[in-house]
Every structure is written in structure tokens, then in C-alpha cells.
Structure 1
């Protein structure tokens, strides 16, 4: 981490400001494998809290989240856990591909990022954002930035006045080879700022 911090604060005063004023971000580590990919699919286009609640319901219902259990379960079981019809399709497609060994999470540590992306993109409903979150959180890839993430996009617009995807890409390229830590820093600022603003919006009757 320190190597990434030293490099980034030497080239980017905005990231330096965030780290100086908000502290270092927490680097999350998720377990590799099928269950984590299910969790990431559940996180698509919903709040982190909502996705976690749904995931915990699935975990409680099945005890362990495995491809066989998800593939063979009745759709109603997943629906009762709060999974949408569309995401049921995605989870079952993921399970089917793992069972068929079209996706082998246990081999990812020996594969290139491009090879991993090529496998995961075949899952229904999985795009760049889901893949990048898996690379960052599960595989701890050091040079990933999820430009499709709404918090990242909004913060880059706010702090750097980036108005297009191309401008964001150019900016993020300057953070290589530590774009993952830069992403964590941007998320950290986004969340800390929301926490600081929230009390001011609360009205006492």
C-alpha cells in the first residue's frame, strides 16, 4: 500500500488531498470463487446494504452457496430471498457454467487478466463492472479502475471536472500501475463525504 500512496501523492494533488484529509481507504478482501461472484451479481444497480441483505438470506437458506445448490433450486427459493427474476437467470447461468467447467475460479490465480475477463464476460448479465469488482476485491489486482461505477464517475466529475468517459480514461491512465488503490481512494472520499453531509440534512422537529 505504501508504495502506491507514495507514487500517487507525488503525481496527483487531489488524491493527496483526500488521503491527507480523510485518511487511507480500507482495502477489502473477499474470498475467491463462486459465492463471491454471486454476491457481486446481486450488487449490480442496487445499494451495497440491499445486496448484502439478499446475499445473507441466500446463505442462510442454503447454508453454503454452491453451484449445484443454486442451479438445482427452485426459482421461488431465490425469489423469497429477495433475488429479482433477472438476477435469478444470471445466478443460474453462472452456476451452469461453473458446473460445466466453462468457468474455473480455482485456476484464475494462474491466468492473465485478459483470460479471466474472457471467461467472466460469458456469464449472462455480467459486464465490465462486475468483472472489475471481482478482480479488485477477490484477486487483489493492483491496476483496475471500474469507470462504470456511478460513485467513481460522479466523483471524477466533481473533483477533476471529467465530463466524458474518454477524459476519465485519460486521467485514470496517469495512475498506472496503481489504479486499484486510486479507485479505493475515490470510493473512500465519496463515502466519507456522504457521511459528513448527512447530519446537516437531518431536521429536528
Structure 2
């Protein structure tokens, strides 16, 4: 089975999902194909994803840009030169300051090697990432989906994806995690691309909340 996706096969996978699921077909019909959201495999990207935890995309990007202005290039070594006050001036919370410093130290010490992760299976990558302070399953999911472009991830901790699935599939707001995953499993081995279709639908919806947007 296909493990990863790219610009060459992305639309064909969307079409395959649409052929098997009228609800996903309806999203493409109404809104077109979703963008192929992707990010480089860098320390800066992981800092960006950490910043996006539980806040709006705009807030996270504002903090990232503020840090970039201060250090020019967001690298582990440069970030560790910043004081807590300088982090605060870049709109980093105390918690996210701690997480960012920990990640920088982990990379510099060799505890984590981002390039090596590209060759590993999903479960090993998840274990390595979630061993780091401040990185949970949602952050690992976003990394696997948008950085490594692994094709079969459904981010069960992402409110936007879950709420979009519930709307598209007519599930109640109280539907359980197990109910949601039972639906998502029907999209294997392309759950990531199905999730992108759901985000595409969600972002086009007037009911969407900025705090639930996690791309």
C-alpha cells in the first residue's frame, strides 16, 4: 500500500476516496480539491507546530514571525541564546518557551534527529516525538501528515477534523472517539488525504472557529 503522498498522486488519491465515499465527493464538488498542505522537515517547523497547540493559526504564525525577526534564522543554537523575557516578547507562553528550549536541546544533543525520522515507520516516529516534553499525539500527527506526508493518519485530537467528520457523516456532537475512528478507518490507507478534505470543508464553513483550525 502507498505509504506517502505527493503532488504527483495527491489528486488521484482524492478521486479514489471520492469514488468510494459520496460525502467526500460532495466536498470536492462544492469546494474543489484541498491544497496539499506541506511543511519542511526542520526545527522551525516543529516550533511552529508547538505554537499552534490550542491557539489560532494567526496567533501561532505571529509568534513564529516575531521570533524570526529577533534571531533571523530559527535554529536550536540561536533559540537557546534567548532569555525567557525575549521569548515572552515573541509572544511565547511560559509553557511553550519550555517546550521550545527542550526541543532545541534534544536536537543539539542528538536525542532526536529529524532527518532520520524520514526513514522510520509511523509508530516509531510517534514514540520518539512524544518522548519529548511538549509534544503529544496531535503534534506528532501534524508532523507525520504535513512534514513527512504519511498517507494514513487521522488526527483524532484535532477538533476541526473531528467536527468536520461529524458534520459530513451526520454524527451527533456527542459521538465518541471510537465512533469517529470507526468512520475514519473506512478511508484507510488514505486517512491523511481524507482529513485534508475534511479540513478543506471545515475552513469553507461559516461555523468554523479559528481556534479549531490547525493547519
Q: TM-score, normalised by structure 2?
A: 0.87
- Matched residue, 2:22: 13
Bigger radius of gyration: 1
> Alignment partner for residue 147 of structure 2, among 116, 138, 163?
138
Q: CA RMSD in A?
A: 1.4
How big is the shift at 1:109?
Answer: 1.6
Matched residue of 1:110: which SS? coil
Gap runs ≥5 in structure 2: 1-9, 209-215
Contact 2:152-2:189 at 8 Å conserved across structures = yes
> Alignment partner for residue 170 of structure 1, among 169, 182, 200?
182
Distance 2:99 2:73 in 1: 18
Which segment is superposed worse, 151-160 or 32-41?
151-160
Query: Over residues 184-203 of structure 1, what are the superposed CA-to-partner deviations in whole Å (9 max), with x where a residue is unaligned?
Result: 1000001111289xxxxxxx
> Alignment partner for residue 155 of structure 1, among 158, 164, 170?
164
Matched residue of 2:80: which SS? helix
Contact 2:11-2:33 at 8 Å conserved across structures = no
In the TM superposition, 1:55-204 aligns within 5 A as 55-160=64-169, 161=171, 163-194=175-206
Matched residue of 1:144: which SS? coil
Q: TM-score, normalised by structure 1?
A: 0.91
Q: Which runs of 4+ in 1 moved over 2 A?
A: none
How big is the shift at 1:6?
Answer: 2.6
Gap runs ≥5 in structure 1: 197-205
Structure having greater relative contact order (Cα 8 Å, sep ≥ 6): 2
Instruction: Give the structure with the higher percent helix.
Output: 1
- Matched residue, 2:60: 51
